[in-house]
Structure 1
């Protein structure tokens, strides 16, 4: 269970990514049923730390905050701006890892983990602009240039900006529970879950007015139990199959089949958390048809089974 969180600030820190760490882990959400963490901002040298935006952040605590943190957040920073990272920071990351703490790198924060030797042999990611560079720095790492976030052991790396929110909510969900993650997401007015394997970079994400598939996507979510083939969806969108497939990938970053599988798993998660419906019934309701198919997609996307997921995340049903 995560209780103590330490976020590390170095010169050139990215303000938005720092805000993500604070927004998810630094605000007491207990008044609305959410989690509350002991959050500390720390730096190799306490005092004013200049951000990438050109304004200072005053940090009161030094790296001793890492010594008993359950989660250490390596916040994004300008990897070309401040020279080498202080050895004390890298040593603190190594010690935290050795004692079993979570390490969470947001965007270019992955380079701090890399320079501490903690990405060797691991799956990881960072912002798509930096993935080639990260792979060159750590040849033994399996750098995924497309993923929003990657969890490998107790090391979590994310792509840039909003992907840091997705990864942070994933961590809350994993360690504290689905209800806690939903509470934080609701307060932040963001989706409670985006799968880590969703594409980072979507070509032409803002279609011209009248060309968006948003209405079709909403309809598909409302009718997950139905069979959705490309020919049928293309007809509904009044497009040729080829144009439909191209536009679907442009707007979602993936294929109709992969998108549907993620939506169906997400809906199954909600039903497993909030109802006592049998797994077979849930599989039918979300469009997988049978429990074995649901189990297959659960294992592929979440690395667990529906039964194990329900055991961990189900909210007791009021009598």
Structure 2
């Protein structure tokens, strides 16, 4: 069993503390046995999570938990501009020295850089702190646009969604792209399971009544059209009230809710299987009025942006050769969503 040590320092964002456990639990549910042991290692042993709703957490492990780990993940934390707490830099250098894989989420990259581990290597961090990372650590080749950067034994990320991208990358490296994609689906697809159940129930009802099948097929074949409730009712030759009643009685969804779920499900398949399609192309093909509307609905439904979902389920690209030092763009911000430490 592979041991992952999650190193958390005072001021860790709560979601970065919990996300690795969610991912590794999803891996275990798809594996024949326990795939990982997760150790939460806190320095000091009791830490307080970042605002809002700060929590006080006491971990079972201190810095000694890194000693026999196969992978160390450094979470972001509030004091990332300060020197790492006593013993942390040395423990990280020892881990790298024995061949350990080391990852950092968001501002956790500053901790690796302060330990001198990223000199001459590519790395990234929360977009709003990219200029500061480049200024404080000029020997680090800062990638100002990177979501996840791999260089040698190091994996650094912008910290989006609490390190989900890092954790899925580790799963992919250990168990392959199919396992990473399956894990991502277990984490983000309850909404599609719900939509699938609704479709199954509607299929059963249609088999019994036969009344709405042509309309449902027409609807699903024309997701790109700007359909309204009146359009759907007119095709079914029913009143809006009757159409709503039939859909809700047998699926729990209104026709427009069903249409939205169908569009999201089609978009998910395109994100998984059509890597050449842009987010804007997919938004048009599945009937959203704009890419902004598509991003908003997709994130509300899954907790991920379309881009991050695609990155999570797609095979990783081969590592790029080390490039000359990048110059960070002051004020660079994330193209989608907000950063997290």
The CA distance in 2 between the partners of 1:222 and 1:155, in whole Å, is 27
Runs of 5+ in structure 2 lacking a partner? 191-225, 228-262, 296-305, 321-341
Structure 1 residues 251 and 37: alpha-carbon distance in aligned structure 2, compared to 1, 3 A threshold: same
Structure 1 residues 233 and 17: alpha-carbon distance in aligned structure 2, compared to 1, 3 A threshold: closer
Question: Within 5 Å, which residues of 2 pair with 1:1-319?
Answer: 3-25=2-24, 27=25, 29-33=27-31, 36-46=35-45, 48-53=46-51, 54-79=54-79, 83-162=82-161, 164-189=163-188, 218=267, 221=270, 301-303=317-319
The CA distance in 2 between the partners of 1:37 and 1:95, in whole Å, is 21
The CA deviation at 1:249 is 9.6
Q: How big is each residue's C-alpha offset from its partner over 1:47-87, in whole Å with a ceiling of 9 and x where there is no partner? A: x3111132101112121111110001101101368x43213
Asked if the contact 1:5/1:73 (under 8 Å) is kept, the reply is yes
The CA distance in 1 between the partners of 2:64 and 2:87, in whole Å, is 10
The CA distance in 1 between the partners of 2:70 and 2:165, in whole Å, is 19
- Which residue pairs with 2:231 in the alignment? none
Q: How big is each residue's C-alpha offset from its partner over 1:153-200, in whole Å with a ceiling of 9 and x where there is no partner? A: 110001023272122101110122223323322221169xxxxxxxxx
Higher relative contact order (CA 8 A, sep 6+): 2
The CA distance in 1 between the partners of 2:95 and 2:40, in whole Å, is 16
The CA distance in 1 between the partners of 2:65 and 2:272, in whole Å, is 49
The CA distance in 2 between the partners of 1:103 and 1:52, in whole Å, is 23
The CA deviation at 1:22 is 2.1
Q: How big is each residue's C-alpha offset from its partner over 1:232-251, in whole Å with a ceiling of 9 and x where there is no partner? A: 9999899xxxxx9xx76997
Structure 1 residues 143 and 80: alpha-carbon distance in aligned structure 2, compared to 1, 3 A threshold: closer
The CA deviation at 1:220 is 9.6
- Which residue pairs with 1:277 in the alignment? none
TM-score by length of 1: 0.60
TM-score by length of 2: 0.57
